[in-house]
Amino acid sequence: MTDVQPVRGLGHIFFWYDNWRLAARVRSRMVANGFVECPLDDDRVHCFLCDDLETCLPILSNFLTEREKRQISVLASETTRPNIFEFGRLKTIAQHETQLLALWLGDMLMDRRYRSLMQPIVHASNQHDIMGYEFLIRGLHTDGTDIPAPTLFGTAESCDMLYALDMAAGESATRTARLHDIQEDVFVNVLPRTIGDEAGLDAWLQAVLAAAEVSPEQIVFELVESQQLGDASALKNLVEKLHHQGIRVALDDFGSGFNNLVGLVEVAPDYIKIDKSLIDDLSKDDRKGNLVASLVDSAKSSDIEVIAEGVEDAETAEKLVSIGVDYLQGYHIGFPKDQPVTRAPIAV
């Protein structure tokens, strides 16, 4: 068995607990991981030598549940007797984790360590003809490697920083479109909460469009998580505001959540993007085929064009063409890249 090296430091980390069983478990795990304890008189307060919380938190995360992280309060102090002013920094482990994540994400946004990848969207009738690109933000570590999208957006959501990330995604998309002189449509994912009021919409237009000198007529807002607006009338009002600015609208992930055929006619977007869950195994599942065909018929009766995303093989593409979908997007058409393509790299 490998000896555990003691974790020492000039500072002290204090733990306060709701119950003694939890206290005993945390204490034993900390000692097992090499932390040196400073004995105290209270069984529900433990103190360990350590310079900073960043050293402790990853170890604690390995054996604590999310509920337990909300039950344990932590404080870092230079001495074994924190003064009254230091107690203003007392937070639960969960709160400390969120704070550290917010600092990490804030640094990334401030340093503009992000980029946009472009995934082509093609005409179903001519799958070499590109009508636009969806711009997908990717965060970058300090060494230049990509941060996976689920990590990026999961962190932003837990830290209540989705608005800031949304603005960065829009800025990155239009800046990239201008850099590569993109003439096709620019599809940008936007949360309704970001642009749901006049102030939010004006801020987006100023920060994202004006700075990059991209025409609103070239932009298509992909409204994601549109169910958060609560009802079709709120979504309709937002779509009307965007149309007034010359911006077209696509409802993303249609067929899931709030999105439904009844609300579709009232909202009247320019496009719907059929949810990938309906596209998977489409060529082998007649029920999905019938449902997608119904969506396409309903959309076309309201002059709404249909984009199928998540198209990953030729059989699915052929099925969608036969159903009457207007546009295709997915790995079969082209992977997200940092450079545009002049001709979609697929074989019809």
Digit-coded pLDDT (tens) for 64-81: 888 888 888 888 887 777
Query: Which pLDDT band, with edges at 50, 70 and 90, does 175 fall under?
Result: very high
How far is C-alpha 104 from the chain's CA centre? 15
296: left (phi over 0), alpha (psi -120 to 50) or beta: alpha
Residue 347 belongs to a domain: no
> pLDDT-based confidence at 124, cuts 50/70/90?
very high
At 347 the pLDDT is: 43
Residue labelled with tokens 């719907």: 272
pLDDT of residue 69: 87
Rounded CA separation 50/202 (Å): 47
282: DSSP letter? G
Q: Which of 13-27, 137-151, 288-302, 305-319 has the lowest mean pLDDT?
A: 13-27
Domain co-membership, 130 together with 206: yes
> Considering the chain, what is the average pLDDT of its residues?
85
Residue carrying structure tokens 């959309």? 299
Confidence (pLDDT) at 4: 58
**DSSP character for 37?**
B
Residue 321 domain-assigned? Answer: yes
| CA 85/CA 89 separation, integer angstroms | 8
Distance of CA 237 to the CA centre of its chain: 25
Mean pLDDT in residue range 198-224:
82
Q: Quick one: which H or E segment has residue 150?
A: helix 149-158
Question: Is residue 263 over pLDDT 90?
Answer: no
Mark whether 60 and 155 lie in a shared domain.
no
The answer to whether residue 258 is domain-embedded is yes
Is there a single domain that holds both residue 47 and residue 154?
no
The SS3 assignment for 185 reads strand
Q: Note the pLDDT tens digit of each residue in 296-310.
A: 998 999 999 999 999
Looking at residue 333, the DSSP 8-state letter turns out to be T
- What is the end-to-end Cα distance of the chain in Å, rounded? 60
Looking at 101, 128, 143, which one is the last position of a domain?
A: 101
* 102 DSSP assignment: H
Q: Where a domain ends, among 101, 124, 143? A: 101
| pTM of the complete model | 0.78
pLDDT at position 97 over 90: no
Indicate the number of domains in the chain. 2
Both 132 and 97 in one domain: the answer is no
| DSSP secondary structure code for residue 148 in this structure | P
Asked if 129 and 258 sit in the same domain, the reply is yes
| pLDDT for the residue numbered 329 | 96
Q: Specify whether the CB–CB gap between 94 and 70 falls below 8 A.
A: yes
57 and 119 fall within a common domain:
no
- Average pLDDT (266-280) is 90
Of 80, 101, 122, which residue sits at a domain end?
Answer: 101
CATH number of residue 149's parent domain? 3.20.20.450
Which residue range(s) make up the domain with 56?
12-101
Q: Looking at the structure, do residues 53 and 165 belong to the same domain, yes or no? A: no
Residue 246: which region, alpha, beta or left (left: phi > 0; alpha: psi -120 to 50)? left
Helix/strand/coil percentages in the chain, nearest 5: 45, 20, 35
Phi first, then psi: give them for residue 296, nearest 5 degrees. -65, -45
Backbone angles phi, psi at 255, to 5 degrees: 105, 0
Chain length of the chain: 348
- Cα(206)–Cα(226) distance, integer angstroms: 23
Model pLDDT, residue 348: 41
